Structure 1
Amino acid sequence: MPTAKNTIKEINRCGWCSNDPLYQDYHDNEWGVPIKDDQQLFEMLCLEGAQAGLSWITVLKKRERYRQVFHGFDIEKMAAMSDQELERLLKDPGIIRNKLKVFGFRKNAHAYLEHFSEQQSFVDFIWSFVDHQPLINQPKTLSEVPATTEISDKMSKALKKKGFTFVGSTICYAFMQAAGLVDDHTRDCFRFNK
């Protein structure tokens, strides 16, 4: 009879994914899975902006606290947050205490409310950059995965024009990967072409 040790198969994941169970769960179940919900896309865009200059695991470990303090990413409630509320958040160790990033969440909520509605959804706008179909890349190694593309450049410019912040091309490409607009799982990853 095989032992438990012999029956456990090692799972190959993308090289950026560490042994942290939270990171592995994110990689296995979220990263690269298409998001077609306005609020979820908005949350992911904000969190990718919070990552700027940091590692994604840092943001991932703080994601639940972000959801608590930013009203579950309810866009109208975020837009209505006062300067005093945001200033108080700068003392909260459960989030990244960068003033530009914290105030940027509210700025993004204002931009969202100004430009998106039932007539033009955020989903339609974001997914229009990839003709509403995920781009399936087939990188052999992480070195073949770009930091930016022509599409992320266009998305960045369009979001900035609408008043969004922390939406540079690198952030936009990471957002595209996270939200499933692009599938960059490497060929040796068990999630490749899933």
Structure 2
Amino acid sequence: MTGTVTAATSLNRCGWAGSDPLYCAYHDLEWGVPVHDDRLLFEFLTLEGAQAGLSWITILRKREGYRRAFASFDPELVARFGDADVARLMADPSIVRNRLKIASTLDNARAFLRVQQEFGSFDAYLWRFVDGVPIQNAWRSLAEVPPKNELSDRMSRDLKRRGFRFVGSTICYALMQAVGMVNDHTVDCFRWSQLQNG
């Protein structure tokens, strides 16, 4: 992350950001910012899947551990992980030690490489779901923000067809929010207007 975070009390943020400095930094500097870097897209894909059933702050606190454990999210390296790596990861307290989630990350790395080969980049594949342009929503409250939509349903089906796992519609929508495919900051949040132009 780059940039600076203003004191939590001086800006109006989305309600979910709270006052935790890590959460505020993520909200202010990353969430909703369009991402076109394949390695960072693989990172978010992995972290959103790891978050299933857990709070996002739990994953944020383990993010550096994930970067160490999964070769800085280099999909070519992760795709070559084998049984010894799974055993190592299952013993690593700096990540979520869930065998299904760990195995899915390895499978997803392999599927990610196939998508890169077919489309030239994962970025080209993913952003075609929104025709390359962020969807600008105008939610007045967190209660209006959907957990998924028709677009995330379609993305989920397509990713599953290509061999990805832990990519249900809710996870796909969270991914879309995280990487700026949708601007789901509420209209009273200072970031909403800043991200209007993508």
CA distance in 2, matches of 1:126, 1:78: 20
Q: Which amino acid aligns with 1:63?
A: R
| d(CA) in 2 for partners of 1:68, 1:148 | 31
Superposed CA deviations along residues 21-67 of structure 1, whole A, max 9, x for unmatched, are 01100000000000011111111011100000111111011011100
Structural mapping, 1:59-78, within 5 Å: 59-78=59-78
Alignment of 1:42-57 (within 5 A): 42-57=42-57
Partner Cα distance (2:92, 2:80) in 1: 19
Distance 1:85 1:119 in 2: 29
Gaps spanning 5+ residues in structure 2: where?
Answer: 1-7
RMSD, aligned α-carbons:
1.3
What is the distance in 1 between the residues matched to 2:152 and 2:190? 26
Residue 15 of structure 2: SS of its match in structure 1? coil
Partner Cα distance (1:21, 1:193) in 2: 22
Q: 1:65 to 1:144 in 2, by over 3 A?
A: same
- After the TM superposition, which residues 65-144 of structure 1 pair with which residues of structure 2 at under 5 Å, given as runs? 65-117=65-117, 119-144=119-144
1: distance between equivalents of 2:124 and 2:115? Answer: 12
Change (3 A) 1:84 1:180: same
Structure 1 equivalent of residue 4 of structure 2: none
Residue type at the aligned position of 1:46: T
Deviation at 1:170, TM superposition (A): 0.1
Measured in 2, the distance between the counterparts of 1:81 and 1:18 equals 37
Greater CA radius of gyration, 1 or 2?
1
The normalised TM-score by structure 2 is 0.91
Superimposed CA distance per residue, residues 84-119 of structure 1 (whole angstroms, 9 cap, x where no aligned partner)? 111221111110011000111100011112232285
Find the aligned partners of 1:38 and 1:77 in 2 and give their Cα distance: 14
The reply to whether residue 169 of structure 1 matches residue 172 of structure 2 is no
Over residues 134-153 of structure 1, what are the superposed CA-to-partner deviations in whole Å (9 max), with x where a residue is unaligned?
00101000011000000000
Q: How far is 1:131 from its partner?
A: 0.7
Q: How far off is 1:9 after superposition?
A: 6.3
Letter in 1 for 2:33: V
- How many residues align? The count is 187
Query: Counterparts in 2 of 1:143-158, with a 5 A limit?
Result: 143-158=143-158
TM-score by length of 1: 0.93
Structure 1 residues without counterparts, runs of 5 or longer: 1-7
In structure 2, distance between residues paired with 1:92 and 1:189: 37
More displaced, 167-176 or 80-89? 80-89
Higher alpha-carbon deviation: 110-119 or 178-187: 110-119
